[in-house]
Amino acid sequence: MPDLVPNREMVTTHHFDIDVEPAQIVWGKRAIEVDERKDNLRTAAKEKFTHIVNIEVLKETDQYPETQYDPSVVDAARAVFEARMDAINAAVTHEDIDDLTEV
């Protein structure tokens, strides 16, 4: 496997080098673009927000009448989600993305 710069490169395809003894598997690598990393962070933020909303919606259809949808929970989750999306959209470098993944 090739040496990779963490969060900057990824392994791609491989080929066999049969000109050496013993034959070797040679792996390729490519750079990971900032936008790819931003897309991953956006997806994770959306999934987290959707999960919270779904939990609240399920309260309306469960078997317990005392559980009720709480719009304040959804509003708080929306505020966190929107702040997260703003931070992700403002990121322009890998270092900016690194700062967001450490949070």
The predicted structure's pLDDT at residue 63: 83
Give the up-direction half-sphere exposure of residue 9: CA atoms within 13 A in the CB hemisphere. 11
Percent of the chain as helix, strand, coil, to the nearest 5:
55, 15, 30
The predicted structure's pLDDT at residue 48: 97
Mean pLDDT, the chain cut into blocks of 10 residues (103 residues total) = 92 95 95 96 97 93 85 96 97 95 71
Domain parsing of the chain, residue ranges: 1-32, 33-101
What 3-state DSSP class applies to 32?
A: coil
The predicted structure's pLDDT at residue 25: 95
Burial class (CB in 10 A: 0-12, 13-18, 19+), 87: middle
The predicted structure's pLDDT at residue 76: 97
Torsion of CA 96, 101, 102, 103, to 10 degrees: 100
The predicted structure's pLDDT at residue 103: 55
The predicted structure's pLDDT at residue 81: 98
Model-wide pTM > 0.85: no
